[in-house]
Amino acid sequence: MRTEAKAANVAAEVFCNVIEQTAFMFGERTCKDDLPIAGRPFVQAQMSFHGPLQGTLALAVPRDACLQIAANVLGMEADDPFVAERATDSLKEIVNVTCGHILTSLAGDKPVFDLSIPEVSDLDEAGLAELLADDRTVPFLADDCPVLLRLALRED
């Protein structure tokens, strides 16, 4: 199996565990064509890592879904103002935890990695199209929420 395909499988498995344990949502891989994304603005959390492996991890979801994810993480109602203020914060946290576990799964528990602080940005149509077109992007449905996860390893 190609390294990138293997890495994508590991990333997918780790993500499903993390989203289940942190947000009580069940992730399952799907086809890009089956994602309910039409007309929904997306946000993306992204971080980079440096060490024996180098690259980036990006996680994109519809902006409206951030609210539900944050509510689940906090165990609160989605219409609570406390949740709304922290909606994108939850996405950063999930990408952060996912990244840490992917690196341990791929490289073991001895190497030390430097992780960047995750950043969130709006994904415009071109950005979303680029993410969807990338072979390294794994599409999920987490409950009914469309999710795109891309682990991009870089060789230096």
Partner 1 sequence: MALNILVVDDSQIVRAVILKSLDLANVPVGQAYQAANGREALEILGRHWVDLVFADINMPVMGGAEMIEKMSQDGLLKSIPVVIVSTEGSVTRMEDLRAKGVRAYLRKPFKPEDIREVVDQVIEVRHAN
* 82 in Cβ contact with 76 (< 8 Å): yes
Angstrom distance (rounded) from CA 144 to CA 91 = 16
User: Within positions 10 to 49, which residues make up the interface with partner 1, using CB under 8 A?
Assistant: 18, 21-22
Distance CA 71, CA 87 (A): 8
Within residues 97-126, the interface with partner 1 by CB under 8 A covers 97, 99-101, 103-104, 109-113, 115, 117
List beta partners, residue 62: 42
Of 34-42, 80-88, 136-144, 147-155, which segment contacts partner 1 by CB under 8 A? 80-88
- Interaction between residue 138 and partner 1 (CB under 8 A): no
Sequence-ordered list of residues with C-beta below 8 angstroms from that of 1, at least 6 positions apart, any chain: 9
Contact status: 54 vs partner 1 (CB under 8 A): no
Contact positions toward partner 1, by CB under 8 A?
18, 21-22, 70, 73-75, 82, 85-86, 89-90, 92-93, 96-97, 99-101, 103-104, 109-113, 115, 117
